[in-house]
Amino acid sequence: MPDSIPPTFGQPWPARDATRITAVRTIVTAPEGTPLVVVRVDTNVDGLYGLGCATFTQRWHSVVSYVEDHLERLVVGRYPGDIEDLTRLARLSSYWRDGAVANNALSGLDMALWDIAGKRAGLPVHELVGGKVRAAADTYIHAGGASVEETIEQARGFIEAGWRNIRLQVGQPGIGSYGAAGVGGGYPTSPYPDGWRVEEYLRNTPRLFESAREALGSEVELLHDAHSRLTAKQAVTLARSLEPYGLFFLEDVLGPEDWGQLPGVRELSPVPIAVGELATSATTAAQLILGGGVDFIRCHISAIGGFTPARKLATLAEFSGVKTAWHAPGDTSPIGAAANVALDLTSPAFGIQEGHVYNDATYEVFPGTLPIVDGWIRANETPGWGIGIDEKAAARYPAGLSGHDAWAAGVRSPDGALRYP
């Protein structure tokens, strides 16, 4: 063990062997333009290291600092097999715990330790935690256009490519709606002409799904994301207006500030409710499940601390009649996507997996990135996550500041008031 490691940070009990963590660092890259943060944990065994996802796109500089200035000194010199103790130490040591920055940093460490565990055992992570209960995870993909016709045309293309589950979003005057472009200057006499008007949204969305069912038929599953912009009353109004179209789920009807009202919304909603993307602790996510406010829990697992707490949530969901639908857009790295799939394939509580089609540059940077074939995603059968990183390729796609801040600053009502982005 290095002499520079204080005794309080040392190995607290005898380890099974002499394998030790020697370094922890971050790699940031943006092959699709979206900053992705990867944590690499090295050991004193030649060639043995682990990779984890720590992607908080909007505040990635803070995650990098948290990992390299705080977490590394806690775990260097430790045995990497003590995953639960190491991740609890990383979480509890700051005293004020949780939050998106801290938990993404913790997630990078947690997933990297699971990657190391799989490599040491010569097994994929899904076998370390009990093995498969299904062969592949069914995914959904996003279709969104400025008009109903554009959205439906996109959806047709996805159905032809093999998807059975499509999230539909459509634009509206002004800034548009979440996931779909709008028409600039939609409210020309308003203080903010490019605003988002909830009344317009509540009228347009049922029209979208009425047209989609007529055009796409009843076999495809349809989903929709309100992106936290509604009140509880508006959420119930929307859910009831969508009942005739048989949605698979309605996502994020309320912001986290209003999650206490979710049980009442769910009770009155004829459509399944999916929430959890904005949870920044496993405790909060567990309360969503136990409080009876959700049919699907859909955390961004790096924002709640990684694979270890997500496994616990999946078990809690299993015994609470809730399904999983882990968050996985373009701001989840391929390593985080692999962790999602390991959960999907090993949990009886699996409901559906959000899908993202990575570009060629991402496959170059992250060898082993999981493809989606005919709407299905399967795990790698190689040890650990089965995902690598080519650091030379990663350096060719440097990350800048996320564009999310500028976009969020423009999500306003026609009167100029900020809305949830």
Owner of token pair 């796409």? 216
**CA–CA separation, 190 vs 413, rounded Å?**
9
Instruction: Provide, for the chain, the percentages of residues in helix, strand and coil under a 3-state DSSP scheme, each rounded to the nearest 5.
Output: 40, 15, 45
Q: What residues have CB less than 8 Å from 20, skipping those under 6 apart? A: 1, 11, 43, 44, 77, 78, 79, 80
Check if 142 is active-site.
no
Going by their DSSP bridges, the two strands 221-225 and 376-377 should be labelled as unpaired
Q: What's the gap between Cα 170 and its chain centre?
A: 22
Inter-helix orientation angle 307-318/282-290, to 10°: 10
List the beta bridge partners of residue 37.
28
Cβ atoms of 115 and 339 closer than 8 Å: no
Take residue 51 and report the two structure tokens written for it.
């990779």
Catalytic residue among 227, 300, 327, 356: 227
Check if 300 is active-site.
no
Say how many C-beta atoms besides its own lie within 10 A of residue 182's C-beta: 19
User: Residue 360 burial by CB count (10 A; 0-12/13-18/19+): exposed, middle or buried?
Assistant: exposed
Q: What's the gap between Cα 153 and its chain centre?
A: 26
Cβ atoms of 335 and 26 closer than 8 Å: no
Alpha-helical regions (H) of 17-59:
none
Cβ atoms of 59 and 303 closer than 8 Å: no
Amino acid at 198: V
User: Residue 64 burial by CB count (10 A; 0-12/13-18/19+): exposed, middle or buried?
Assistant: buried
Cβ atoms of 77 and 21 closer than 8 Å: yes
Catalytic residue among 49, 66, 79, 178: 178
Say how many C-beta atoms besides its own lie within 10 A of residue 109's C-beta: 30
For the annotated catalytic residues, the residue numbers are 178, 227
